[in-house]
Amino acid sequence: MMRVVSADAVVAKVPLLWRTLITAALLMIGLVALVEQRARILRGGTEVRLRTVPIDPRDLFRGDYVVLAYPISTVHAETGGEPFRRGERVFVTLARDAEGFAQASGVSREWPRTSGDAVVIAGQVTTTGACALNQDGTTDCSRRRLRVAYGLESYFVPQGEGKAIEATDRARVEVVAAVSSSGAAAIKRLLIDGKPVYAEPPY
Amino acid sequence: MLGSSYRKRLEADLIRWVDEGLVSAESAVAIRRSVAREQGGPRLPALLGLFGGLLIAASVAAFVAANWEEIPRLVKLVAILLAIAVCLLVAFRLERKGSARGADAAVTCGVLIFAAGLALIGQMYHLPADWPGGSLLIALGGLAAAFLMRSSGALAIALVALCAWAIGRWQESDGQLTPVFLVFYLPALWLAFSRNNRLIHHLAILAGAVWLGMVPGQGILRVFDYGFVAYWLALSGLYVALGAIALDRGGPGLLTACLPWGLFGMLVTMGTELMRILDRDEARAGHAFDLVFCAYAATLAAVAFLAWSARERRFAWPLAAALVLALLVPTVFWSGIAVAMLGRVVVASLVLLSATALTIAGAAGGIRRLTMAGSVLFGVAILILLWQTVGTLLDQSLFFFVAGAALIATASGARRLFARLNPPEPEKEAA
């Protein structure tokens, strides 16, 4: 019958001590790399201010956290060309409005050419037929848009405080996010009435 | 691979053979010793060790959760890293002492803590809630530990996590195929080949089946087409054929695990196909897309190999016939005649014949799973056909009568058929 070289026989040639050390190192480096990747965004990323709409604050497995939605979570895609699909990775260009808050000014599959203080943030299309979210937090279902997730949609808070943030008037909550040069984003500060409520240290 | 049912049967047989004088008492002892060696010593201490490790890990997790806010973030991170290091240190010591199973249990605990650590770090550092991405990281960690530490528990975790990742990405991307799955699955399959562990064999085979089953895309969930059922039926047939080839040729153990899952798939898909004839709308043709033809080609090639290279033909040939008959069922629907009475009779006959051939193959080869699958398919088919009258009651009565008479005729001729397929060797005259 079929003869396959045994993986166990191959690896047995390496001394057990080395194998144990390499396994431990790989598992630990994997975890530390996640933290470091996050810290690098927070340390060196460009800051953008985002209006928020907190909703639905609880998840059974991950403790208390606030689920956040932003006006930039829904993006208008130019008509023409190949339509976007759910799950696709996209790059959204962020411009600043008169008050300094970020607003989406374009979406593309490739890294866009930008000018001035525009920031590009990477996201993933979660829905292609979402209702538009206006600056005041109201929804407008007459205009269909892409819903894009940026990895800024959840923020863990001390137990019991998620509800309090959720109950706060949506216009008063603001997020400052850091966006790296590759478009990866992380929440840096959470503010209510312009005052920092939570600030995120790199480590 | 020695199952507990095989060992029990062997023990009963050994007692009988010694009583009948077929095997000497010394030979029986030698056989028992050989089986015990292959089994690899008692599993209980390792199993209890694993449970103990899991309970301690749960206790630590509860303690950490209770004092979550008071413990600084970096301390939590270091604690997670230390817990992984301790598990691997224990695994190292146990392996050095010769307790391979104990070491496996410790490595499994380490990988579980790594998985829990990912979730905790996700929470502490506000990482995006991307559970398929997290599953892939767990799978990678599990694969590394499974390879380097030769741990079956870590491999089991890796296979489950790989499936979770593939399903998650498949859902997110509207059913887009994720060929990258193979980059991680094939090494896992290679590792599973090396393992003498039935759970690992089944998980490895099942993980492959899950991915192959998702290949048709999101259409499965949105615009359902019976072409998908034909694809899954062909895939199930392929699994049965691969499992049968492995059984017929004495291994490898990993491939024999294909058989039960293939049979399960055949039961479900053929039951679904049979139910279609009860409803005129559901009996519509369906589409045979390229993927279905590919699956048919692969299955027919495997069936041809099974029949051509069979060592035990009286098991392999009826099984090959059962698979071909099963593959014919969707073609009746594609021809468009299943909406008419003739097509319905043909579909019902093919399903019943396939079930009968499966049972014959199982009985001839002494493979209980095949016999059981054939019998269950036969019973389910009768129930489905009796559930709703197709045509008139007289038509139905005639169908069952003809089918019953044909089966009795087959049964009476079966002994001669088997004798012709595998003629007994002429007994040598005593010198």
The torsion angles phi and psi of A105, rounded to 5 degrees, stand at: -115, -5
- pLDDT at position A157 over 90: no
Q: How far is B292 from chain A (nearest CA, A)?
A: 25
Rounded distance between C-alpha atoms, residue A5 and residue B388, angstroms: 54
Please give the C-alpha separations between residue B74 and each of A203, B80, B124, in angstroms, as whole numbers. Answer: 7, 10, 10
Name which of A121-130, B29-38, B102-111, B341-350 the model is least confident about.
Answer: B29-38
pLDDT at A26 over 90: yes
Q: A with B: how many residue pairs have Cβ under 8 Å apart?
A: 139
Confidence of residue A134 (pLDDT cuts 50, 70, 90): low
pLDDT (0 to 100) of residue A60: 43
Task: Note whether B127 contacts A26, CB cutoff 8 Å.
Answer: no
**Min distance A87 CA to chain B CA atoms (Å):** 4
Contact B88 A187 (CB under 8 A): no
* The pLDDT of residue B1 is above 50: no
How high is the pLDDT of residue B179?
83
pLDDT at A153 over 70: yes
Q: Is pLDDT at B357 greater than 50 in this prediction?
A: yes
At residue A128, the 3 state secondary structure works out as strand
Predicted pLDDT of residue B431: 38
Select the residue from B1, B121, B124, B126 to test the A interface by mutation, using most A Cβ atoms within 10 A: B126
Give the pLDDT confidence of B371-385 residue by residue, as tens digits. Answer: 888 888 888 888 877
- pLDDT for B428 equals 46
Amino acid B264: pLDDT: 94
Q: Indicate whether A141 pLDDT > 70.
A: no
Closest residue of chain B to A152, computed from CA coordinates: B128
Tell me which chain B residue has its CA closest to the CA of residue A2.
B252
What pLDDT, in 10s, does the model give residues B299-351? 999 999 999 988 888 888 899 999 999 999 888 888 877 777 777 888 888 99
| Span A51-72, average pLDDT | 67
User: For the segment B395-408, what is each residue's pLDDT rounded down to a tens digit?
Assistant: 777 777 777 777 67
In order of A34, A117, B130, B147, the CA distances from A184 in angstroms are 13, 17, 14, 32
From B74, B92, B193, residue closest to A17, measured CB to CB = B92
According to DSSP H, which parts of B149-257 are helical?
152-172, 180-194, 198-214, 227-248, 253-256
Does residue B3 have a pLDDT over 60? no
- Cα–Cα distance list, B325 to B306, B311, B329, B363 (Å): 15, 22, 7, 18
* A80-119 confidence digits (pLDDT tens): 677 788 878 899 998 888 888 888 888 888 888 877 678 8
Task: Compare CB distances from B126 to A12, A32, A186 and report the shortest one's residue.
Answer: A186
In chain B, which residues have their Cβ closer than 8 Å to the Cβ of A35? Answer: 77, 121, 125
DSSP A100: S
Q: Which of residues 121-160 of A touch B (CB under 8 A)?
A: 124, 126, 149-156, 158-159
Question: Is the distance from CB of A128 to CB of A85 less than 8 angstroms?
Answer: yes
Q: For the ranges A47-56, B141-150, B369-378, which has the lowest average pLDDT?
A: A47-56
Does the structure show a pLDDT above 90 at B284? no
Arithmetic mean of pLDDT, B119-143? 86
Confidence (pLDDT) at A143: 62
Alpha-carbon gap: A76 to the closest alpha carbon of chain B (Å): 20
- A29 close to B (CB below 8 A): no
Q: Give the Cα separation of B218 and B170 in Å (integer).
A: 8
Q: Taking residues B95-108, report their average pLDDT.
A: 88
pLDDT at B424 over 60: no
pLDDT at B94 over 70: yes
Mean pLDDT of chain B: 82
Question: Which segment of A50-54, B193-197, B226-230 scores lowest on mean pLDDT?
Answer: A50-54
B430 pLDDT more than 60 = no
Query: pLDDT value at position B266?
Result: 92
| Cross-strand pairs, A195 | A192
Out of A17, A63, A87, the one facing B176 most closely (by C-beta) is A87
Nearest-CB residue to A26 (from B119, B127, B144): B144
- The answer to whether the pTM exceeds 0.90 is no
Listed residue (A153, A191, A201) closest to A49, CA to CA? A191
Average pLDDT of the residues in B131-154: 92
Model confidence at B386: pLDDT above 70: yes
pLDDT of residue B41: 53
**pLDDT number for residue A31:** 93
The separation between the first and the last C-alpha atoms of chain A, rounded to the nearest angstrom, is 54
Q: Which residue from A minimizes the CA distance to B152?
A: A8
Instruction: Give CA separation, B264 vs A140, B54, B257, B373, in Å.
Output: 48, 33, 12, 8
Question: Is the confidence at residue A162, as pLDDT, over 50?
Answer: yes
Q: Which chain B residues are closer than 8 Å to A162 by Cβ? A: none
Phi first, then psi: what are they for A58, rounded to 5°? -130, 140
**Do B193 and A7 make contact, defined as CB atoms within 8 angstroms?**
yes
Question: Quick one: pLDDT at residue B429?
Answer: 44
pLDDT tens readout for residues B4-38: 567 777 777 888 888 888 888 888 888 888 777 66
Residue B40 reports pLDDT greater than 60: no
Contact yes or no for B194 and A61 at CB 8 A: no
Residue A2 has pLDDT above 60, yes or no: no
ipTM over 0.85: no
Mutation to test the A interface, candidates B67, B71, B87, B88, most A Cβ within 10 Å:
B88
Distance from CA of B70 to the nearest CA of A (A): 11
* A149·B128 Cβ contact <8 A: yes
What integer pLDDT is reported at residue B29 of this predicted model?
A: 85
For range B77-99, the mean pLDDT: 91
pLDDT digits (tens, 9 = 90+) for B253-277: 888 899 999 999 999 998 888 888 7
Cβ <8 Å between B95 and A16: yes
pLDDT at B174: 73
Closest CA to A128 of B167, B215, B174: B174
